[in-house]
Structure 1
Amino acid sequence: MAEPAPLATPTDLNRNDTRSVADALNSALADCYALYLKTKNFHWHVSGPHFRDYHLLLDDQATQILAVTDAIAERVRKTGNLTLRSIGDIARRQTIADNDAEFVDPHAMLSELRDDNLKLVESFRVVKDAADSAKDNATSGIVDDWTDEAEERAWFLFEASRRG
């Protein structure tokens, strides 16, 4: 009997089905890293009369986004697949655009991050569909929590960015 590949995690899930789940998870993971770095960037560079409130909000959100990255990557591995390996891998897979502008108006920051969190929700819905198709109950269940957190971040950003 042949030796299994060194990273062939045992699973009762169909290998072909889990590849589509892993691809969706890795795409969402790349978006999480892109969103995390953008959120920290805006946290570091926010200015204006609401500095303290926005600075703290963005730091809290960045912490929450970073916390989910390990859970996503570990879920990929639990299904017997491989996850992201580098910044280049993230760049190839991310759908959330970077923002390298030297200055971004605070209102524009909040609006951009709101839209990005909603884009992450879309990524999580792709994960949910793939997981349901693969009968991967664990991924299907946990992605609901990640979706709820991203929706809450979008809501907070929407409310914080309202004028008047």
Structure 2
Amino acid sequence: MKISPALNTPTDLQADAIRDISAALNALLADVYALHIKIMNFRWHMSGPHFRDYQAMLQDHALQLLVSTASIAERVRAIGASTLHSIGDIARRQRLLDNDADYVAPSAMLTELRDDNQQLAAYLRETHDVCEEHGDVASANLIERWLDETERRIWQLFEATRAND
């Protein structure tokens, strides 16, 4: 991996570590942006008797993800790599699927978001493994916090979609 002199941030990580970690973090960043947009799409199109509760929950989830984007991108830069540049860059790297349907039932929205968060948790664990493999404790530590936040979102979405007992 050739690093631009402008990005040559001092680090004790080896070039292969910077390459692997930044690739994993940039893919994660693309997925977080994709999930944020999907949450906002669903929030804007939410309807039904639980409208206010779902709107508030989805707003919290979207804000949590948006805040994490800066930390992910800053971590990529801190290790001396380049991060995402555009919407097109995000679209090329994202692994989570978009939903462009004209109508999605509220329960289907929440189920899809739960499933997406479960997939994001798996990606977080994979990225954590890459960081541990290269001894990047700082990135691994951040990922643990994001994983905890993701698991909380999964739990909230699961509870919101449970059938009445």
TM-score by length of 1: 0.96
Q: Distance in 1 between matches of 2:129 and 2:12?
A: 19
Output the CA distance in 1 between the equivalents of 2:97 and 2:82. 24
Aligned twin of 2:23: 23
Provide Cα deviations, 1:39-81, integer angstroms capped at 9, x if missing partner. Answer: 0011110000110100110011000010000000000011111
Deviation at 1:132, TM superposition (A): 0.4
Structure 2 counterparts to residues 33-44 of structure 1, below 5 A:
33-44=33-44
2:160 paired residue number:
160
Q: Following superposition of structure 1 onto structure 2, how do residues 15-164 of structure 1 map, counting pairs within 5 Å?
A: 15-164=15-164
C-alpha displacement of 1:16: 1.1
Matched to 1:35, the amino acid is: L
Distance 1:116 1:30 in 2: 13
1:4-49 deviation digits (Å, cap 9, x = unpaired): 7112111111121121011110011000000000000111100001
* Deviation at residue 97 of structure 1 after TM alignment: 0.4
Q: Deviations over 1:79-115 (max 9, x none)?
A: 1111110111101110110001111000000000000
CA RMSD of aligned residues (A): 0.9
For structure 2, the 5+ residue unaligned runs are none
Q: Which runs of 4 or more aligned residues in structure 1 lie more than 2 Å from their structure 2 counterparts after TM superposition? A: none
Matches of 1:85 and 1:125 in 2, distance apart?
25
Of stretches 7-16 and 56-65 in structure 1, the one that deviates more from structure 2 is 7-16
TM-score, length of structure 2 as denominator length: 0.95
Q: CA deviation at 1:123?
A: 1.1
CA displacement at 1:126 relative to structure 2 = 1.4
